[in-house]
Amino acid sequence: MFTIQNVLIPVGQEYQAVSVHIVEGRIAAIAPTLDILGTAIDGRNKLLLPGFVNAHTHSSEMWQRGMIPPYPLELWLAELYDSTPLDPEQIYLSALGTAVETLLTGGTTVVDHLVLIPGRELETVAAAVQAYKEVGIRAFVGPLIQDESLESGIPCGDTGRKHQPYLRSTEAMLELLREAISQFHRPTEGISIMAAPTGTQLCSDALFEGCVELSDRHDLCRHAHLLETKAQKLLAYEQYGCSAVERLKRLEFLSPQTSLAHCVWLDEHDIDLLGDTHSTVVHNPLSNLRLGSGIAPILKYRQAGINVAFGCDGAASNDSQDVLEAIKIGTILHNVTDLDYTNWITPHQAIELASLGGATGLGMASELGSIEVGKQADLVLYDLMNLSLLPRTDPIGLLVLGRPTQVVDSVWVKGDRVIAEGKPTRINLDELRSQLFNRSQWSVNRKSNAVQQVEDHYRAVMQLPASE
C-alpha cells in the first residue's frame, strides 16, 4: 500500500496533478488530494504513465546484437542460427538484460518469443521465466516452435528445391508446449505462456491447429510472425495458393487474443480479415528498417480499426531493447507514407498504442494499459527534471519525439516497485553487466557458412543479380 503524491497524469490532451493510492497491487483512488496511505512517494516534477508492452522480442538475441551484417531477414536468420546461444545460463542473463532495458524505457510487460536451445527446450523456458520472476517484469513467454526447417522459409521459385525435414515432429513440438504450459503458465503471478508458432513460413497446418486447440483449452494468447518480408508473401502463395492471412483465418488462429508481429506485406483483403477477427498488429519499426523488410502500413491498419502495439523485436535486428525508441520511430516513420498529416500518429496516440494497445493484444485491456481505478498498478514514473525532458513543454511530446535518456525514475508491476531511482530493486545490475561482459567476446566481420549456403538461392528467387 502506498501513495504517489502530486504527480502529473495525462487527462485527455491535458495534464493534471493528482495523488494516487495503490492498494494490493491495484489503483485504488486518483484525486487532486488524498490522505497518505502507507508509504508516500513524492511525485512532484514527475509524470506517471501506464507501463508499455514490449509486444514482440526474442530475449536471447541480446548475445548477438550489433554483430550481424546488414542482411535481409532470410540471410540474417541463417547467420542468427549459426551463433545462437546454447547455454541456459546465457538465456537467463539475456532475459534479465531484456527485462531491465524494457523497464528502464517505460515497459512493464515483455512478450518474449523465445528461441529454444535444441534438445534443452524446457530448460530454456525455465531460465527465461526465472529471470523474469527475479527482476519482477510481467512476461508473456511464447516458446518459438516450428515443424519445418529454416530453408523452407525461402520460396523455391522454379528451382524445384527440396527441404530437409525439421529435427522434431509436429507432435513433439506440441508436447513441448503442453509441458511448458503445465510447468510455467501462472498468469496471476505475472508469467503467462503463449501459443506462439514461429510463423506461417515455418509451421504446418497441424502445428497451427494444435496451438489453437491448446490456447482454447488453457485460455492462452496466440502470437506469431506474419508477413515480415516480401519473400514470405511469395512463399505463402507458392505453398498454399492463398495469402498467409487467409490461411491463418482458415486455421482459426486469428482472434482478439492473437498478436501478429510485423505485418509488413498485407494486402487490402488481409487487412479486412485482421479487422474482422479483432487481431492485433505488433509494429516493430526498427527491425523492419534494419532488415530492409519494408514499412508496415500502420496508418491503414488504424483507419481499418485494427489494434496496434509496439515491439522492439529481438536485439539482433534492432539492436537494442529501448521501447521509447521503437515508439518514436514507429510513430514518425509513417509521416512519409501519407501526405495527409491528419492521419499521422500523435505522441498521445503513440503512448496509448504502446500501453493500452499492447494490453489489448494480450487480452488484458480491462486490467492494464491505463491509469484507472481498479486496474493493476503497472506504472512508470518519469523524471521531468531530466535534461533530455527540459525545458518544460509537453511531457508526452518530449517523451515520444525527443531522445529521452535515463528518464525512468520508478516502475511498479502489480504494485511492486521493481525500479527505484533508475535502478532495478531486485537484482544487482553491476553483476549482470559483468556477466554479460565476461561471457562474450568482441566479434567482427562475420560471414557464416550458413549464409553462404542460402545466399545464391535467395538472390535467384528474389531476382537479384548473382553475387560475385
Minimum distance of Zn ion from residue 303's CB (angstroms): 25
Residue closer to Zn ion, measured from CB, 313 or 319: 313
Closest separation in Å from C-beta 76 to Zn ion? 11
* 151 vs 313 by CB, closer to Zn ion: 313
C-beta of 101 vs 313, nearer to Zn ion: 313
Measured CA distances, 31 to 17, 50, 348 (Å): 9, 17, 22
Q: What value does the CA radius of gyration of the chain take, rounded to a whole number of Å?
A: 22
Please identify, using beta-carbon distances, which residue of 226 and 333 lies nearer to Zn ion. Answer: 226
> Are the CB atoms for 91 and 128 separated by under 8 Å?
yes
Instruction: Give the footprint of Zn ion on residues 400-419 (CB under 5 A).
Output: none
Task: Name which of 2 and 265 has its Cβ closer to Zn ion.
Answer: 265
- Closest distance of CB 26 from Zn ion, Å: 32
The distance in angstroms from the start CA to the end CA of the chain is: 66
Residues in Cβ contact with 316 at an 8 Å cutoff, skipping those fewer than 6 apart: 58, 61, 62, 64, 65, 67, 68, 76, 80
Q: What SS3 class is residue 377?
A: coil
Stretch that binds Zn ion, among 126-134, 144-152, 202-210, 308-316 (CB under 5 A): 308-316
Residue 354 and residue 334: Cα distance in Å, rounded?
16
Angle at 310 between CA 223 and CA 343, to 5 degrees: 120
Least Å from the CB of residue 199 to Zn ion: 8
Binding mask 135-164 for Zn ion (x = CB under 5 A): ------------------------------
Residue 424 vs residues 190, 199, 410, 440: alpha-carbon distances, Å: 17, 34, 9, 23
| Residue nearest Zn ion by beta-carbon distance | 313
Residue from 468, 459, 460, 413 nearest 71 by CA: 459
- 313 or 325: CB nearest Zn ion: 313
Among the listed ranges 81-89, 208-216, 240-248, 305-313, the one in contact with Zn ion (CB under 5 A) is 305-313
Nearest distance from C-beta of residue 323 to Zn ion, angstroms: 15
Q: How many residues bind Zn ion (CB under 5 A)?
A: 1
Residue 398: CB minimum distance to Zn ion, A: 29
Which residues make up the interface to Zn ion (CB under 5 A)? Answer: 313
